[in-house]
Amino acid sequence: MKKIMLIAMMMIAMTASAQREVGSLTLQPKIGFNGSLLYMDDKNVDNETFGGFAGGAEVEYQMKRWFSLSAGLMYSKEGGKNKIKDLNVTEKVELDYINIPVMANFYVWKGLALKIGLQPGFKVREKFDVPNNAALAASKYGFGDEAKNFDLKMPVGISYDFGSVVLELRSAPGLIKTFKGKDYTNACGQLTIGYKFALK
């Protein structure tokens, strides 16, 4: 067991010291966990987070040692649970998206990178759990019959490369309203772990 642990530590140390080559192209499958909410800035609404799965892959092109561009395809389970205080009702919705994050990555120290980009998303599934309440439906707080098919967020994040293994944390506030005629915005935080494979 001690020999296996020693070999593993040596491999981590060797890969962690590897340099990013200018012109390299990598593929990174990744999986993780979302914490999302449908946010409305209203004291009458308790916005509660909703947990869900995230998974997909990103391709990254290293333009400089300190800078790269990446684009991905991610399945993301998002949504929210909101309590409307004056009506004493709680509404919940699950929203699944295919997201396409396009990111600028700035490597500021060794494997540490700061990231910012744009993320269009396309709804592939929705599931509502809304009480049958006429007052809720008639108010400004109801989600409505369905969410918009298109979503747009601005993800910002931080990651660290442990050699080929990448641990990343992103926050992605929504830039557009999630429902027609309602003030809810879909915001999402995401923690993922991935592994980089060299393509070039």
Beta bridge partners, 99, equal 74, 121
What's this model's pTM, rounded to 2 decimal places? 0.85
pLDDT at residue number 1: 54
pLDDT at residue number 2: 53
- Region 172-178 average pLDDT: 96
- Region 8-20 average pLDDT: 48
pLDDT at residue number 131: 84
Q: pLDDT at residue 8 above 80?
A: no
Q: pLDDT at residue 18 above 50?
A: no
pLDDT at residue number 3: 52
What one-character DSSP code corresponds to residue 139?
S
- Region 140-154 average pLDDT: 91
| Phi/psi at 12 (5° precision) | -65, -45
Q: Tokens 């790269």 appear where?
A: 68
Please state whether beta strands 67-84 and 50-62 pair in parallel, antiparallel, or not at all (unpaired): antiparallel
Q: Which two tokens stand for residue 135?
A: 């007052």
Q: Measured between alpha carbons, how far is 18 from 22 in angstroms, rounded to an integer?
A: 13
| Phi/psi at 136 (5° precision) | -65, -45
Residue type, 43: K
pLDDT at residue number 171: 97
pLDDT band at 40 (very low <50, low <70, confident <90, very high): very high
